[in-house]
Structure 1
Amino acid sequence: IPAGPAFGENLHRLQQLLDEVRAEDLHLAPRGPAPVAGAAGAGCPRAGVVPPVSYMHICETESFSMGVFLLRSGACIPLHDHPGMNGMLKVLYGTLRIACMDAMPPAAAAAPSPPPAAAAGPGPCLRALLRSRQHYTPASPPCLLSPHSDNLHQIDAVEGPAAFLDILAPPYDPEHGRDCHYYRLLEGPPPGTELPREVWLLETPPAADFWCGGEPYPGPRVCP
């Protein structure tokens, strides 16, 4: 969405409003530590198996989408992107570890070569800047992303189940070039390395042990 004169002001106001949302406002309560399901194949859940991640759809228009993601204890939403999209993520309960990255321009002649593992990968390889790896709780401000900043991220539930409210503007739409792509970190920074730091990512299909189920949204109706 083009950033007009009022974009920054509206974004700040939305961030303030989202920061006030609590789990009870959406009629949600923390869940027990249900284990993450075993591998069921991307997008192909096994009957009777609890999915590692579930999604509660709230609403979607041509301008934005809104919903709640529920992560079981130990679950991870793999590293993925949001092409041309702005987003906000607000933790409702639990603790999330979110790693945020920026895609970098195509490698110049003097840029380092990708690691050898990239040659055998199923998809293209790209350089990225690992900007941050932080823990978020309900007391944290929303995690923000834009088309050019923190657009790639990985989300892990830490020490128990977690849930977050997710707003994307505009929403995913493959017909308009806004499809979700998944990536694998080829060479990450050693533990304790100061960030930001350049890394190499390999585009991959969704992980075999990641799939997302659906649940009804129990909270107040949202009228776009």
Structure 2
Amino acid sequence: MGMEKVTSDRKKRRMRQKKVSAVQKLYDACSEVFANCGPGVIPSADGIKRLTDILNDMTELDVGVRRNMPYFKVKETEGFPKITYLHLCECENFSIGIFLLPPSGVLPLHNHPQMTVFSKLLFGTMHIKAYDWVDDAASMATSKADSSKAVAGPVSVRLAKLNVNSDFTAPCNTTILYPTHGGNMHCFTALTACAVLDVLGPPYCDPDGRHCQYYRTHPYTDFTVDEKKLPDDEKIENYAWLEDIDKPAGLSVVGALYNGPKIIEK
């Protein structure tokens, strides 16, 4: 009887292991990978590989998202199409969620302060444009004397360099941005209906100073700042001035109930 019980217990354990969902594996991995991380701290190379390996294999089926969901139907005729956010989980160290963007849906240029972010395009085609800061200091720049310019007079801007400016079509590998490189400020534009699975470590937190800041871009040639001259071999098209702005009017990101495989939080 003792041997039979041991065999039965082993079978039960194997069955439980087989039933662990992909999203649960992702949560368990995040719990361990981000356990000793904090604001501005990048996970280890092994931790990053562990998360990307899980995310690269995930599809919309793993999170219960379907392309025929009503969230992907565009109802608005003006402004930004409504974007839906499915909250999976959040703790002090990380958060997991899914953005559902209808065709032409836009998440305007925004930052991820002191965060490492993993984004997995589950389906669809999306254009991603991302920047990194050139330095740590903001500058007061003056627009050039040209009546065609939209900005006049001194403006507080900061120089950024283009990191990504490409279309991505699922299936594709997970993109990663880091606290100070990898395209920390990015903009998503859905060319078709898209679903994006996001892992943020740590999550946004206003009291801790990690709030979502939006930006307006200005061409490099629109401003003059003596100390911001580029090397001769650099292309000015790869640089832009970023200006802090409030959340764009008309941008609507609405939460909805996540109905995919459940996550057992520990």
- TM-score in terms of structure 2 length: 0.69
| Deviation of 1:39 (Å) | 5.6
Q: Which has the higher contact order (CA 8 A, sep 6+)?
A: 1
Q: Are residues 1:177 and 2:216 paired?
A: no
Structure-2 residue corresponding to 1:205: 246
Structure-2 residue corresponding to 1:164: 196
Structure-1 residue corresponding to 2:49: 12
In 2: Cα distance, 1:16 partner to 1:118 partner:
45
Can you give the 5+ residue segments of structure 2 that lack an aligned partner in the other structure? 1-37, 145-149, 222-233
- TM-score in terms of structure 1 length: 0.81
Contact between 2:103 and 2:194, CA under 8 Å: does it hold in 1? Answer: yes
Q: Are residues 1:155 and 2:149 paired?
A: no
| Deviation of 1:223 (Å) | 2.7
In 2: Cα distance, 1:172 partner to 1:94 partner:
26
Q: Deviations along 1:94-117, whole A, 9 cap, x unmatched?
A: 111111110121569xx9955455
In 2: Cα distance, 1:102 partner to 1:113 partner:
19
In 1: Cα distance, 2:96 partner to 2:236 partner:
31
CA-atom RMSD in angstroms: 2.9
In 2: Cα distance, 1:27 partner to 1:156 partner:
23
One-letter identity of the residue aligned with 2:114 = G
Compare 204-213 and 78-87 and name the one that shifted more.
204-213
Structure-2 residue corresponding to 1:63: 93
Q: 1:56 to 1:115 in 2, by over 3 A?
A: same
The structure in which a higher percent of residues are helix is 2
In 2: Cα distance, 1:92 partner to 1:53 partner:
16
Contact between 1:26 and 1:220, CA under 8 Å: does it hold in 2? Answer: yes
Q: How many residues are treated as equivalent by the alignment?
A: 207
Contact between 2:134 and 2:160, CA under 8 Å: does it hold in 1? Answer: yes
In 2: Cα distance, 1:39 partner to 1:124 partner:
30
Can you give the 5+ residue segments of structure 1 that lack an aligned partner in the other structure? 42-50
One-letter identity of the residue aligned with 1:154 = C
- SS for the counterpart of 1:14 is helix
Structure-2 residue corresponding to 1:143: 175
| Deviation of 1:36 (Å) | 5.5
Q: Are residues 1:79 and 2:112 paired?
A: no
Structure-2 residue corresponding to 1:90: 120
In 1: Cα distance, 2:161 partner to 2:127 partner:
17
Q: 1:106 to 1:147 in 2, by over 3 A?
A: closer
Flag the structure with larger Rg: 2
In 2: Cα distance, 1:57 partner to 1:216 partner:
7
Identity, % of aligned pairs? 29
| Deviation of 1:16 (Å) | 0.8
